[in-house]
Chain A
Amino acid sequence: MVCNDNVLKVDNLDFSYEENHKKTLSNINFSVSRGKFLGIIGPNGSGKTTLLKIISGILKPSQGKITVFGKELADLSIEKIAQFTSVVPQETSVIFDFKVKEVVFMGRLPFISRINGETIEDYEISREAMERAKCLSLAEKNIHEISGGEKQRVFIAKALAQTPQLLLLDEFTSHLDINYKHEVVKFFKKVLENDKIIIVSAFHDLNLASILSNRLILLNEGKIEKIGTPQEVINEDIFEKVYGTRPTIINHPTLHIPQVII
């Protein structure tokens, strides 16, 4: 029995961008508990990013209910939502030459009173986030003068500085080198362990999704094709149906998790 306070629950979610348009998402139902990592995979255009946007509160569903830690998302203002949900985006375009440490610090915005200003604690949190995301050495650099991979770490740090209960990631692995992918796995396992938060991530990289996620949702044209453990979801038949080609799936030699090989 899952306690409501520790759960992200999505009920009967439908979404279309315009009325009477084709539905981008239909009949989405799932829940995920604290300390768990939920991965969302699916072909391009299947609705992964849209689903994330709805969970983050910036898009409103056409139908259905989203409950986060016992509260209905529809009842909350974005200021409130920002106090427990943070997002690492796929792409960023920063205007003006902010320093890395300033960008990370912006993660504290939902907690800073406009009148009293920030506190020492805000700086502590910010610094810790940079340490954990391994971008402390970049603190004084101009955000535009670092590589794509470094930027990714900065935005992860910022998302952590926001002390989220729910962390959303949108295909964050696009800029990472292979050595960092290993680091990333360790990193998020640690985050889950320490912070006991919920992580929901959209993935392009099926194998990383398989390694990181406790459960996977496979989206196909806006509907949930399959939801379950990686073993249940990463399956030749299901994949052939969704992706149109039959993949070869093997078991990872050490981790014993299904991996897709072309």
Chain B
Amino acid sequence: MKFCNKLILTIAFLLLILSSLLSFSFAEASNYPLTIIDDTGSAITIPEEPQRIISTAPSNTEILFSLGLENKIVGVTNYCNYPEKANNVEKIGEMTPLNLEKIASLKPDLILGYGLYQLGEIAPLKEAGYNIIIIEPMTINETLKSIRMVATICGITEKGNSLVESLTQRINKIKTKTSNIDISKRPKIFIGGIYETIWTPGEGTLFNELITLAGGRNIAASLPGWAKISPEFVAKEEPEIIIIPIGAMGQVDESNIKENISKHAGWSNIPAIKSGKIFVVNEDLFYRAGPRLIDGLEKLYEIFYE
């Protein structure tokens, strides 16, 4: 009997430890259900840790991958090309109009959407009970916040925090470098395009914020949003550096683009053209509200000061 008692006690003790261990992890998992408010102002309740996530924007995909959630992603758009592995994920099609059938068929338990316009499109799925979080970060800070929020939603708050930490460190590094530079010494920047009609990012755009943070002066900084401007304005502002953001294009065409810009009528007196400081950059680093914005920031600093 004594041996039996000992055995029972040991087993009970082990069970106790086991259950406390389990309850500990369940305590962790009892973060769920959690309720958060997304960028559209709606309160969404996530019942449990998402295992099948769909991203409806390349920036969202990059955020998810950077948080190490790649194994949980079951659907991305046709444009989600970064990182490489994203190309292997099943495609849900366009960002707009969203293919609701395709999305539903992948049985997601979390849909990470982007932009108010998607809110309208995805309403039927919302009514059907799918969990939909929509983010629309307009600034770097909002992007970092979004990364944290996504991390929390997916139960990896720690990972989110550390990612944001390292990104913030990199930002601060740039900030200190530029804080000493006098306004007048900061180079004037013109963000052009590959078309003759000029649309340039102004106040309130991510690109503008990046330029300013990196220590440049965007000639269109005072114009709201994306502005159509005339070549006259560019000539008058005399930018010292011209940046042309493009999608992935071959090397060959970069030189064509630069040549085309330098031959533009009426621009021959612009410092950027005279010095040949025309830079073609990967637009994804500046348009996608994700961790690569910081890559873009660093790239800009490099262009401006190195």
Taking the complex as a whole, does A directly touch B, i.e. does some CB pair lie under 8 Å apart?
A: no
Binding site for B on A (CB under 8 A): none
